[in-house]
Structure 1
Amino acid sequence: MSFTAEQVALKESAAEFTRREIIPQLQQWEDDGELPRELHLAAAKAGFMGIGYPEEAGGDGGDLLDVIAAQEGFMEAGAAGGILASLFTHGISLPHMIAHGSPELIDRYVRPTLAGELIGSLGITEPGGGSDVAGLTTKAIRDGDHYVINGSKTFITSGVRADFVTTAVRTGEAGAHGLSLIVVPTDTPGFTVTRSLKKMGWHCSDTAELSYVDVRVPASHLIGEENAGFYYIAEQFVVERIALALIGYGHAARALALAADHCRQRQTFGKPIITNQVVQAKLVEMHRQVQVARTYTHDVARRHIAGENVIADVCLAKQTAVETAVAVTSEAVQLFGGTGYMHGTEVERHYRDARILPIGGGATEVLTDLAAKLLGYTR
């Protein structure tokens, strides 16, 4: 499936931005454990932060396929998974505000974030909670014109650097019907970044554990209606999972390209290793997996844009793409041999970065259960 001419140009522009602004500094950012704020400003100035967001909210317009085109460009040029996770965290912290937030919230948080001036996070996961969104326990109690929030969050992408956290809280009864979303500025008394979490991959993406102790936030920071937060979160799951599928086949495609080039250049026993049938077979199988994952993801994205219900398919597309990422990056490391095992090589980074994908955004096991219910494969 092909992109339009405009999307091809967007993809090429993103690749050039990556080669110019990201690749020369990437290893330093991996070592530092976070991205500089200046990169957000540079990406906004280059026109990448606002793609897919409505112009009336400060975005540049376009749809999900435009986002896919740009981010494919980032990954094909060698961007780390942590780059997409941390530079574009607004892809999970802003959509609820854009869809249901007040003009005040959009002006205060959405527009500056799309301009690269603020960094936002999404605070849902809690210690011990995992993918059980409906079971979260962080509580917000109404006190006059404020909410008072107590609880904790963990595995929060961009949480160390964030200026605000779109926080899922319990404002009502147990279960999905009692959740709300409240925007919490990180300079609010009682809000603390408990620690920065070290991870297997996504090294350049800061990840935080957060604490809320009697955090008083204006009631005007509530997104939409009280106790409707679970439904607002669920609305965005399709796009979030398509984005993770994109990262998945993006890792795989880049790892395949690196491995194929290495196999053409690396000589053993007097000939390039690509002349061996077993190597050719591996590369063909890697190519097959990448193409299937990319085609499936694009198809689901197009159907979502057209208004179809693709909740089950997006679970399966994500699974296909992230399993492809894990398998293809592993095979690429194998083809590189000892070099692929060295820290700081690009193929090693893709291998590490891919492993989070079957876990994040809904673990594969949880999404498989959901797909089984939606497809009628349960009793």
Structure 2
Amino acid sequence: MNHMYFSEEHDMFRKSLQEFLQKEVVPHIDKWEEEGTIERFIWKKFGDMGYFGLAYPEKYGGLDLDLFYTIIFLEELQKINSGGFAAAIWAHAYLAMTHVNKEGSEEIKEKYLSASISGDMIGCLCITEPFGGSDVAGMKTTAVEKEDSFVINGSKTFITNGVYSDYLVVAAKTAPEKGGKGMSIFIVDRDTPGISATKLNKLGWRASDTAELAFDNVEIPKSHLMGERNQGFPYIMQHFALERLIMGVNAHARAEYALEYAIQYMSEREAFGQTIDKFQALRHKIAERSSEVEMAKAFNYTTAKRLDEGEYVVKEATMSKLLSTKIADEVIYDCLQMLGGYGYVEDYPLARMFRDSRLGPIGGGTSEILKEIIAKMVIDNKDYKPAT
């Protein structure tokens, strides 16, 4: 264990989390992958163990722990071989809940954040739109003010937990004429009239419910506005650093798991009178890929440390997601190859990992968008600032 970042308490937490996941989650994974539905009981078990409250204030039932508990949480979720289950959990805990914690009023936090930490409510974050993709500022969904309410119309897509969540954190234009400067953030109860969800049939992340959502004259109280009106875009941008780092950490963790599995397999598989881990071509490929994963992990830990100390690491987090997801895809591709025909069989973990990993360079901002963001920072000297 890397004791530059992890204490003995961190190590104990990792061990207990591993035991919890093996006992409570792993026996159900294949069923959830096949059915595309994660049973409700597991959310409550996560809540009872305090896992949803790692990063949140004690006032609302959280534990207010340092970011490396979250890093451990993310890493171990990647090692049970269900990208969909992991995504459903972290999309609730670090996408939806982050906005509730940072922008929600005291009343909202007491109702939604507390219930999210306990596992009694599930949240989803609704930003991406069918024709917008990574163009957040170009969203079309609107929230029109009435006397004592807002009325939301529009659509969202690729929303993790979009079907089964209890509440939705929704970005919508309150001043469309201002473009990205006219966006606000709202919290919306699932049972509000006018919300409909269509489940998407995906290549990977099969256990998670990913939805396209429609909002047809959805009327919510004015008190469900989160943060300042027309400040939604800076809020979203501020949290992208955490989201991108999360996806970078997910990537190095699943790549590490793939390597561990492939190395174990190679130590047992025999060909031409010896185990295949003795063949130089395969050994050197493993050496190369292991080096890349170790470098990505070290960079991600350093970035996490800086983020935990309050730095606005949007450049580094963007680099983390760009390179870590690319490395993970290449590592898992090669690890699948090490298994030969068995790598292509669903009874072995690499087939699912291969499908699940492919979303890494797409979700949370495509690699093409991230490259342009990085180019603006390193070539044009653009300085992204946190929301004030």
TM-score (structure 2 length as normaliser): 0.94
- Quote the offset at 1:43 in angstroms: 1.0
Following superposition of structure 1 onto structure 2, how do residues 1-379 of structure 1 map, counting pairs within 5 Å?
Answer: 1-2=2-3, 3-76=6-79, 78-90=80-92, 91-172=94-175, 173-193=177-197, 195-377=198-380
* Equivalent residues of 1:125, 1:131 under 8 A apart: yes
Using the alignment, how far apart are the partners of 1:111 and 1:313 within structure 2? 31
Contact 1:249–1:293 (Cα < 8 Å) also in 2: yes
Is the contact made by 2:243 and 2:364 (CA closer than 8 Å) also made in structure 1?
Answer: yes
8 Å CA contact retained: 1:14, 1:71? no
Q: Which residue identity does 2:179 align to in structure 1?
A: G
CA shift, 1:295, in A, is 0.5
CA distance in 2, matches of 1:334, 1:68: 29
CA deviation digits over 1:207-265, x for unaligned, max 9?
01101001101110000111011111111111111110111011100100010000001
Structure 1, 320-329 or 86-95: larger mean CA deviation: 86-95
Query: Do the aligned partners of 2:183 and 2:233 also contact (CA within 8 Å) in 1?
Result: yes
Could you say what secondary structure the match of 1:358 adopts?
coil
CA contact (8 A) 2:75 2:254 kept: no
Give the conservation status (yes or no) of the 8 Å contact 1:297–1:318: no
SS in 1 for 2:226: coil
Deviation of 1:9 (Å): 1.2
Aligned residues: 377
Tell me how far 1:378 sits from its aligned partner: 7.1
Secondary structure at the counterpart of residue 198 of structure 1: coil
Once the two structures are superposed, residues 187-225 of structure 1 have per-residue CA deviations (whole angstroms, 9 ceiling, x without a partner) of 0111111x1001111111110110100110111000011
Q: Per-residue deviation at 1:73?
A: 2.6
1:25-75 per-position Cα deviation (integer Å, ceiling 9, x unaligned): 111100011211111111111221111111123311112211002222333
**More deviation in 331-340 or 173-182?**
173-182
Q: What's the counterpart of residue 386 of structure 2?
A: none
Greater alpha carbon shift after TM alignment, 133-142 vs 57-66: 57-66
- Aligned partners of 1:34 and 1:206 also within 8 Å: yes
Q: Which runs of 5+ in 2 are unaligned?
A: 383-388
CA distance in 2, matches of 1:338, 1:282: 18
| 1:7/1:70 contact within 8 Å kept | no
2:311 partner SS = coil
Q: Root-mean-square deviation (CA), in Å?
A: 1.4
Deviation of 1:306 (Å): 1.9
1:84-106 CA deviation, whole Å, 9 max, x = no partner? 21022221002122112111111
Please tell me whether the aligned partners of residues 18 and 79 of structure 1 are also in contact (alpha carbons under 8 angstroms).
no
Q: Which amino acid aligns with 1:101?
A: G
Deviation, 1:160, is 0.7
Residue 343 of structure 1: how far off its partner (Å): 2.2
Q: How far did residue 344 of structure 1 move?
A: 4.3
Aligned partners of 1:82, 1:46: CA distance in 2, in Å?
Answer: 21
Q: Is the 8 A contact 1:80 1:350 kept in 2?
A: yes
Tell me by how many angstroms 1:319 deviates. Answer: 1.4
Cα deviation, residue 24, structure 1: 1.2
Q: Distance in 2 between matches of 1:178 and 1:63?
A: 34
Q: Distance in 2 between matches of 1:4 and 1:69?
A: 12
Write the deviation string for residues 344-378 of structure 1: whole angstroms up to 9, x where unpaired: 42111111111001111111111111111112347
The TM-score with structure 1 as length reference comes to 0.97
Once residues 96 and 378 of structure 1 are traced to their aligned partners in structure 2, the CA distance between those partners, rounded to angstroms, is 28
Q: Deviations over 1:127-182 (max 9, x none)?
A: 01110110001011011111111101110001110111100000013421000011
Q: Is the 8 A contact 2:129 2:139 kept in 1?
A: yes
Identity of aligned residues (%): 36
Aligned partner letter, 2:209: D
Which has the larger displacement, 124-133 or 43-52? Answer: 43-52
Shift of 1:308: 2.5
Going from structure 1 to structure 2, the CA distance change for 1:79 and 1:6 (only over 3 Å counts) comes to farther
Letter matched to residue 6 of structure 1: E
Q: Give distance in 2, aligned partners of 1:145 and 1:248.
A: 45
**Distance (whole Å) between structure 1 residues aligned to residue 310 and residue 381 of structure 2:** 26
SS at match of 1:89: helix
1:179 aligned partner, one-letter code: M
